[in-house]
Amino acid sequence: MFFPVKEKLKSGKSGSNRRTRRGKRISVLYLLPSVIGVLLFFVLPFLIVVYYSVVDNPINHEFVFLDNFIMVSHNAAFQQAAKNTMMFSATAVPLAVVLSLLLAMMLESKIPFKSQFRTFFLSPMMVPIASVVLIWQVLFHYNGMMNEVLGWFGVDKIDWLNSSYAQIVIVILFLWKNLGYNMILFMAALSSIPKDILEVAVLESASPYQIFWHIKLRYMSSTILFVTIMSLINSFKVFREIYLLKGDYPYDTMYMLQHFMNNTFGKLDYQKMSAAAIMMAIVMVIIIGILFLTENYFGKDVEG
């Protein structure tokens, strides 16, 4: 059969255009539920928070631009909460990463009772948070077990939850709850390091330190980033435990940013809550951005 070449090309091109357009239309249709979901449950709430942060209160809706941000940043309670949250994250997150990495390394080596240890460290994940808090209250109560034990060594009673020691209690609680999960992630990462590279390194007389620092750590960089981000996010969630322990207004060293937001929400001070939330989000984005850049820098040569 004979077709003029030009016509054939033209019709072929327009057919493919139609198909592309139809394909696009269908894909838009399929994407629509997800897009609507994202818009409704993520973008819209975020925009509402932005809106509340620039009005005087949720009832009057008077535009005040950045006044809420200025007011909140000068608020002593906010400053205290930001300082405590930062202190807590700066202490608890590195500890959670380093200790769980060490535990993973330890369980990688040939030691007895490996699986029992693994179960032991994972068990806190299975305990409901309300009972965890109850146990913690019994342990660290003024007349609790911890003071009892310290008393045997002649140490005076410490009001753990109502003193500057409170944050130590929370850090221990955080580590107890999170080490197991992080450890499992690191163990998985360790087992996925190519064995041939490790064997070559041993043959090339590399020291265990060199193997750890230059090979294992490099291969685990993406896992370290993931564990760090997860721990950072979890460190903000420690509010739940503190709230169950001491309610809306705990001792000042335990007062976190989420307390500030929760309390201001309860008092219909949405403007303060929203301004604080946005400031916190900005800081989070910066921290996570830095973590990504660091991971990119250290891990780029092993990710191919």
Beta-bridge mates of residue 63: 55
Q: Is the dihedral of CA 45, 47, 50, 52 positive or negative?
A: negative
Q: Find the shortest distance in angstroms from Cβ 57 to another protein.
A: 6
Which CB atom, from 109 or from 143, has the smaller least distance to another protein?
Answer: 143
34 binds another protein (CB under 8 A): no
29 binds another protein (CB under 8 A): yes
Choose which of 15, 47, 113, 248 interacts with another protein (CB under 8 A): 248
Q: Find the shortest distance in angstroms from Cβ 93 to another protein.
A: 24
Which CB atom, from 32 or from 293, has the smaller least distance to another protein?
Answer: 32
Q: How far apart are CA 139 and CA 133, in angstroms?
A: 10
Which CB atom, from 74 or from 110, has the smaller least distance to another protein?
Answer: 74
Q: Which residues contact 188 (CB under 8 A, 6 or more apart)?
A: 223
91 binds another protein (CB under 8 A): no
Choose which of 73, 91, 137, 162 interacts with another protein (CB under 8 A): 162
Chain residues that interact with another protein, rule: CB under 8 A: 26, 29-30, 57-60, 75-78, 80, 142-143, 159, 162, 247-252, 255, 260, 263-264, 267-268, 270
